[in-house]
Structure 1
Amino acid sequence: MATLRKRLSPADAREAALAAAQALLIEAGPQAVTLKAVGGRIGRTHANLLHHFGSAEGLQLALIARMTSDITATIRDALLLDRPAEPDPRRIVDLVFDAFDGGGAGALASWMILTGNRDALDPILSAVRALVEDLTAGVEPACRPIQDETLHLVLMALGDALLGAPMARALGLPRDRARALAATMLAAPLAADG
């Protein structure tokens, strides 16, 4: 376990704490993202982290806001790079599903909500709304609005992050079946137009 002993700027200390929190999230799940665990990982005190985040809940909210910002920036960049060509539905699906599952955002958001922190969704909802507004700016309305596609895709990705593996196993389906279904859903309007 490497510890940071040098003096960090407030921004660098906050970033180190968030990076450690995300690593803990991925390694051990949302319940592991505590001030004590993060402080131990980066060689800072509980009081130091309280100064930056106010509480464990504040740390978790900052983490989910950071993760959501990174996720939506990646998706925005991928979609804007594809313009004016049609975006690859499977690529979009993989980005969204990976964010919720591999990055731990789905587990963290669900855990925070289940423990009574309904504010946990605010950063996700704000970032998704901003992304949809960016992507629809100056674009003719599609046969199926991007808002519908986004709702469907995010709910599928969150559900897959929480229950996808055991549900696929129980039904005898390949693990990536939900991704394939989501890609088919996204591609359907493209096929209908073409």
Structure 2
Amino acid sequence: MTRERLSAEQSRAIALDAAQRLLIEEGPQAVTLKAVGAAIGKSHANLLHHFGSAAGLQAALATRIGERVSAGIAEAVRRSRQGEADPIEIVDRVFDTFGREGAGALASWMILTGDREALDPILESIHSMVERLREGHEDRPIEETTLWVVLAAIGDALLGEPLAKALGLPRDRAREVVRRLLIGSTGLSEGVAAGERAP
């Protein structure tokens, strides 16, 4: 039986899938060439060929997460503008990306290790998304709204669970607060944003 040979792009995608799983399950310090190689049955040399270094792997992962962050938010905003979704979905997409998908942990790790340039793909993706969202909506504070929603999501990803517990609050209270703030800033009532749209 012959094994199908994967393209370089397919091999990179498989490695990045494994890297993201490690990021989510074990934290950013677990995203090493050795660990990713072990997860997918590839050698250290093979991963060096595709990414150049551990920093290259992490940068590629940051690029992937950044693109997914901006694509998910942009799609939720597009659907909201067409009446197919609401601000709650936008907040949930941002919080899920930085929490469950590991973007917050990756960003904090890069800041703490002094590798701030590795954050550029995430920041550039968010900037590009804001530029697209601004078109036709120049009267809205899209940059400011993006700033506080993303910062809240990162803070929640890093400290939300223990802080909510220490304060005796439900785990998702930060997300609920940001939803209310975004609903208020868009001028929708909470009932309308939850799906009870006016005819």
CA contact (8 A) 1:90 1:179 kept: no
Q: Helix, strand or coil: the match of 2:187?
A: helix
Aligned counterparts, 1:8-157, within 5 A: 8-85=6-83, 88-142=86-140, 145-157=141-153
TM-score, structure 2 as length reference: 0.88
Letter of the 1:52 counterpart:
H
Following superposition, the deviation at residue 190 of structure 1 comes to 2.5
8 Å CA contact 2:33, 2:44 repeated in 1? yes
Distance 1:118 1:106 in 2: 14
- What RMSD over aligned residues (CA atoms) do the two structures have, in Å? 1.7
**How much does 1:192 deviate?**
8.0
Matched positions, count? 187
Structure 1, gaps ≥5 residues long: none
Instruction: Give the equivalent residue in structure 1 for 2:164.
Output: 168
Residue in 1 that maps onto 2:197: none
- Asked if the contact 1:39/1:45 (under 8 Å) is kept, the reply is yes
Runs of 4+ in 1 over 6 A off after TM superposition: none
**DSSP-derived class of the 1:175 partner:** coil
Report deviation, 1:60. 0.7
Once the two structures are overlaid, the 10-residue window that deviates more, 67-76 or 101-110, is: 67-76
Q: Deviations over 1:6-37 (max 9, x none)?
A: 53211111111101111111111111111011
Deviations 1:114-163 (A, max 9, x none): 11211122011101111111111122412xx0111000000000000000
Q: Structure 2: where are the runs of 5+ without partners?
A: 190-199
Counterparts of 1:7 and 1:82 in 2: how far apart (Å)? 43
* 8 Å contact kept, 1:53–1:59: yes
Q: Distance in 1 between matches of 2:20 and 2:70?
A: 17
Q: Sequence identity of aligned pairs in percent?
A: 58
Alignment-mate amino acid for residue 149 of structure 2 = L
Task: Normalising by structure 1, report the TM-score.
Answer: 0.91
